Structures are given as C-alpha cells and as structure tokens.
Copies of this chain bind each other. A is one copy, B any other.
C-alpha cells in the first residue's frame, strides 16, 4: 500500500479524533499541499510548532490504527465485497449462453450487485 494512500485512509478513519487545531494543520499540509512555512505564516505559529503538530498527528493516527485496526478491516471487507461482485458478474456472463430462467436470476443478481455497491459506499 502506498504511503499516501495509507495516510489518507488513516485520516479518513480517525481524523475526527484529532482536535480542531490538529485537523486544520493536517489538512493544510496533506490535503491542500501547503508547505510548513506557508502554514506557519497563515496560522501565526512557528515552523517548528507546525512540524511537531504534524508528527504528533501521525503518531496519534497510527496509535488508533494499532488499537482498532479499522483500516486493515476496511481493506479486507472491501476485497471480500469486490469478490462477491465478481462472482455475481460471472453468473451473469454464464447466462449469456443459456437463456433458461434467465430473468429471475438476472434480477436477483442485479440486486446483489446494487447491495455490494451500497456496502462499498458505507464501509
């Protein structure tokens, strides 16, 4: 998993547990691509202070993941649901040749796929 992807997931899952101040600095740096200097100037705090806050945020996010493993679980669930989706696609494909009772099955399979999409949105 790429470092940036991991950081994004960690923030997605645990960002709400940071303080408002920490979130502001974390977002300016990681989402809005501000430099340490630009953040320091905008928020009127020292460059070192910005640096320390970012390090502390990362440590806290990693710490939450060590305890709750939400990112890990999310990746496993996502993989499993994608598997379901692909199985369903294979069934649909197998019915391109055989037209028997296709309608009932096709309806159900579309429902399966819609449900998979809903799960993926919510995970």
Q: Tell me what chain A mostly uses at the interface: helix, strand, loop, or mixed.
A: helix
Per the 8 Å Cβ criterion, residues 83-123 of A in contact with B are 83-84, 87-88, 90-91, 94-95, 98, 100-101, 104-105, 108-109, 111-112, 115-116, 118-119, 122-123
Q: How many residues of A contact B (CB 8 A)?
A: 36
Cβ of A84 and Cβ of B84 under 8 Å apart?
A: yes
Q: Digit string of A23-52 for contact with B (CB within 8 Å is 1, else 0)?
A: 000000000000000000000000000000
- Copies of this chain: 2
Instruction: Please list the residues of chain A having a beta carbon within 8 angstroms of any beta carbon in chain B.
Output: 13-14, 16-17, 64, 67-68, 70, 73, 76-77, 80-81, 83-84, 87-88, 90-91, 94-95, 98, 100-101, 104-105, 108-109, 111-112, 115-116, 118-119, 122-123
